[in-house]
Structure 1
Amino acid sequence: MRRKVLAELIGTMLLLAVVIGSGIMGERLAGGNVAIALLANTLATVGGLYVLIEVFGPLSGAHFNPAVSAAMVLRGELPASELLPYIVAQLIGALLGAWLAHAMFDVPILQFSTRIRAGTGQWIAEAVATAGLLLVILRAPAGRASVLVASYIGAAYWFTASTSFANPAAAFGRMFTNSFAGISPASAPGFVLAELAGAAIGLGLNRAFERPQLRLRHPNMIESSGEREEAR
């Protein structure tokens, strides 16, 4: 299990470094044009997420996301005893990813976001983003999850009001950066609750699509230890 937990920690760290680092770079180069900064942030996240899923999928399932890990436990595809180690690794990795991005861009390592992200629209957007993510993960054809998950997140950056965190670990890590990708600590709990609600909706929708009395497994990641696990 140690190898799987380490993969989740490193994978989540690199994902947050991609998200936060590309936000810093995009904001610096965009000359005040927020759309260009968001586009740069989106493209980097899509590419980084695809690569990370491909690399870490065979090791841990490449969840990088407590909501995904919890969903896999409920589906019997991740042992319940591994859920807490996965979540702890994801949260620590998210924090280290923020610090790594700051170190690379020579900004203060320790900081907190002041960017307020709140309101009914933002919470609905996070629920939609996370429900869609779970549905994509669970319904993706074998071997296609990395492409589909990365593509969905890239699209959701633009069609959701929240720019699609869709990940409690990401919300946690992004509290610790006062940059383009940040979220204030006061706003994070609302995002996390919306993400968990969205994950439950995604699971429910997937169950509605499954055949009665026959639970089809549509794993989204590459096989790990003889079982297909899933990703983000």
Structure 2
Amino acid sequence: MSLPRKLLAEALGTALLLAVVIGSGVMAERLSGGNVAMALLANTLATVGGLYILIEVFGPLSGAHFNPAVSAVMAWRGELPKTALVPYIAAQLIGAVLGAWLAHAMFDMTVLQWSTKLRTGTGQWIAEGVATFGLLLVILRAPAGRASAMVAAYIGAAYWFTASTSFANPAAVVGRMFSDSFAGIAPTSAPGFVIAELIGAALAVGVNRLLSPARPVDEASAHPTPPARHA
């Protein structure tokens, strides 16, 4: 698969993910009659279903990262060429903004807008660190063929057990800055979220290493043949 096709898959997948998150938030808020719990539940269910499908569809093409933190970890592990990291992140960020605009267009909202929804404070930052830590740990330790379902299920749970409703994705933060809706985040709140997410991702890498069995030591390298002595 060529890099341009992978980048197209990342941009398109991220755009559709943000359209799902923001669009379902708009629909949920309009139909819930002011019941925030019902709106969040509907937003959660749509995100879980959409995320699972998008990972299944785009996973074979680009890895279905849709998330700069995931791409950074994959590049660090050597599973994504380091030269592809910046293009991947650029595609994800562009896709996230386009997804927000698409959601607005579908609901006859002003396409270009900024969020005014403040999400800040120590609890919110800790929650984003925890959400991203859990997401990356699930990705790194999921059995083969089960990552899509496990990631979707984890994000659905994290919508409810984290104070931040689990963005767990710097690209999602950027896209949601452009939406003054149920799922939005004010630009002034974004840096704290992104920093917390990157810290959570780094901690997940460290914990995964601690949980992984030590590599077996090669006997030949452990006991090298002593150099021959010359008479």
Structure 1 length normalisation: TM-score? Answer: 0.92
Q: Which of 101, 118, 121 is matched with 1:119 structurally?
A: 121
Q: Deviations over 1:91-145 (max 9, x none)?
A: 0000000000000000000000000000000000000000000000010000000
Q: Deviations over 1:61-107 (max 9, x none)?
A: 00000000000011110000000000000000000000000000000
* 1:63 counterpart residue number: 65
- Fraction of identical pairs, as percent: 76
CA drift of 1:212 comes to 1.2
CA drift of 1:174 comes to 0.2
Runs of 4+, deviation exceeding 6 Å: none
Distance 1:130 1:117 in 2: 16
Q: Which amino acid aligns with 1:36?
A: M
Query: May I ask how many residue pairs the two structures share in their alignment?
Result: 214
Distance 2:9 2:206 in 1: 28
Q: Which amino acid aligns with 2:93?
A: L
Considering fraction of residues, name the structure with more helix.
Answer: 2
Q: Which of 131, 137, 140 is matched with 2:139 structurally?
A: 137
Distance 2:71 2:123 in 1: 26
* 1:226 counterpart residue number: none
CA drift of 1:146 comes to 0.4
Q: Whose radius of gyration is greater, 1 or 2?
A: 2
* 2:52 counterpart residue number: 50
Q: Deviations over 1:28-56 (max 9, x none)?
A: 00000000000000000000000000000
- Structure 1 segment 194-213 matched on structure 2, within 5 A: 194-213=196-215
Q: Tell me if 1:193 matches 2:201.
A: no
* 2:148 counterpart residue number: 146
Distance 2:160 2:207 in 1: 23
Distance 2:13 2:125 in 1: 26
Q: Tell me if 1:182 matches 2:197.
A: no
Structure 2 gap ranges (5+): 217-231
Structure 1 gap ranges (5+): 215-232
Distance 1:8 1:81 in 2: 16
CA drift of 1:213 comes to 2.5
- Structure 1 segment 1-232 matched on structure 2, within 5 A: 1-213=3-215
Structure 2 length normalisation: TM-score? Answer: 0.92
Distance 2:86 2:66 in 1: 13
User: Greater RCO between the two (CA within 8 Å, min separation 6)?
Assistant: 1
Distance 2:36 2:44 in 1: 12
